[in-house]
Amino acid sequence: MCPNEDWFSSFEKLDGYSVVISDDRPCTMKGICMIDIKIFDVMVRELKDVRYVPQLKRNLISVSVYKTLSFEVSIRDGVLKMIKGSMIVLKGV
């Protein structure tokens, strides 16, 4: 989920959808989009099916969703790595 509309490379508007975040507050989902993220200051990867939720204060990545898509996910020393096959797809702090 992402609150930054200016990051989107595509956008599909949604009406009538919401998500409940950890403090039990409902937030309206305004759309589904794709965003490009830069990895290692060089490679650009595309994240698909990102939910646009303008009320959020931070971006959220669902680790469980990536695990169901056969990604290997690890978090060590504050660094998140998501690997599919032999390719690191996302690495960030």
Please give the chain's pLDDT, 93 residues, in tens: 999 988 888 899 999 899 998 889 899 999 999 988 777 667 777 888 899 999 998 888 888 887 888 888 888 888 878 787 766 665 555
The pTM of the whole model exceeds 0.75: no
Determine how β-strand 43-52 pairs with β-strand 79-84. unpaired
67: enclosing H helix or E strand: helix 63-68
Helix, strand, or coil (residue 7)? helix
Helix, strand, or coil (residue 51)? strand
Match 């200051």 to its residue by tokens.
41
